[in-house]
């Protein structure tokens, strides 16, 4: 996927440079800033910056539509887009990182995940309910998503799949998921899901 994006001249992803002597994949360095703290994430949670995320996502999807990599799905999706996987320069997104989960999917899959993560739905608990709908609308507008009727449903499904996936990983004995559970991730995502469900009508009206 990264090779194909590079061939098309897209600068929104690192370049795949091969493997090192230990068999690890080597990627090019993307200069910029990744917002990790709550304050840093808040600084890029503006309608303009979030709309730019949607536009960057569209630049990823369109070249993959109808390709062998997309298979029988609409496009190749990233499947894990969030501020922590995005490089910014001067407050604007310029590239996505962490492509481990990229796979065939539908456009709405990535758009919904962006709405959840970049609008920080339900996080923090005291979030202004009026701010999130504007940011969700900004993602969809930036992407140019035509059919938005299923978008909130897909956000809710992402949230449920996320916490259920952690629980399944714990049950399977995977220590990575155990660490997430112990850090309170299940409860946090469940709270975000409840917030999204409670504000569904407002979110859908904004779209």
The rounded distance, in Å, linking the Cα atoms of 163 and 166 is 5
At how many degrees (to 10) do helices 151-171 and 185-198 cross? 160
* Model pLDDT, residue 205: 96
User: Residues 159-174: what's their mean pLDDT?
Assistant: 97
Summarize pLDDT for 73-122 with one digit per residue, the tens. Answer: 999 999 999 999 999 999 999 999 999 999 999 999 999 999 999 999 98
What mean pLDDT is reported for the chain? 95
Whether residue 125 has pLDDT greater than 90: no
Nearest to 196 by CA among 138, 142, 143, 127: 127
Residue 123: predicted pLDDT: 78
CA–CA separation, 136 vs 115, rounded Å? Answer: 5
The phi, psi pair for 103, rounded to 5°, reads -165, 165
Q: Where are the beta strands (DSSP E) in the chain?
A: 16-19, 25-27, 75-77, 86-89, 92-96, 103-105
Find, among 108, 88, 97, the residue nearest to 46 by Cα: 88
pLDDT of residue 101: 96
């Amino acid at each position: 996927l990264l090779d194909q994006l590079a061939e098309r001249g897209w600068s929104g992803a690192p370049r795949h440079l091969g493997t090192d002597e230990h068999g690890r994949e080597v990627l090019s360095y993307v200069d910029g800033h990744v917002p990790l703290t709550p304050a840093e994430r808040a600084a890029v949670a503006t309608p303009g910056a979030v709309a730019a995320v949607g536009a960057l996502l569209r630049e990823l999807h369109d070249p993959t539509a109808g390709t062998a990599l997309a298979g029988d799905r609409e496009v190749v999706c990233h499947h894990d887009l969030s501020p922590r996987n995005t490089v910014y320069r001067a407050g604007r997104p310029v590239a996505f990182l962490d492509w481990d989960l990229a796979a065939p999917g539908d456009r709405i899959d990535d758009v919904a995940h962006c709405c959840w993560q970049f609008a920080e739905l339900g996080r923090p608990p005291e979030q202004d309910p009026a701010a999130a709908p504007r940011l969700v609308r900004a993602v969809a507008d930036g992407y140019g998503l035509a059919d938005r009727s299923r978008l909130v449903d897909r956000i809710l499904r992402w949230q449920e799949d996320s916490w259920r996936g952690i629980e399944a990983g714990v049950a399977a004995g995977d220590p990575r998921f155990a660490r997430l559970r112990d850090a309170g991730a299940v409860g946090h995502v469940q709270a975000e899901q409840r917030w999204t469900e409670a504000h569904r009508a407002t979110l859908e009206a904004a779209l």
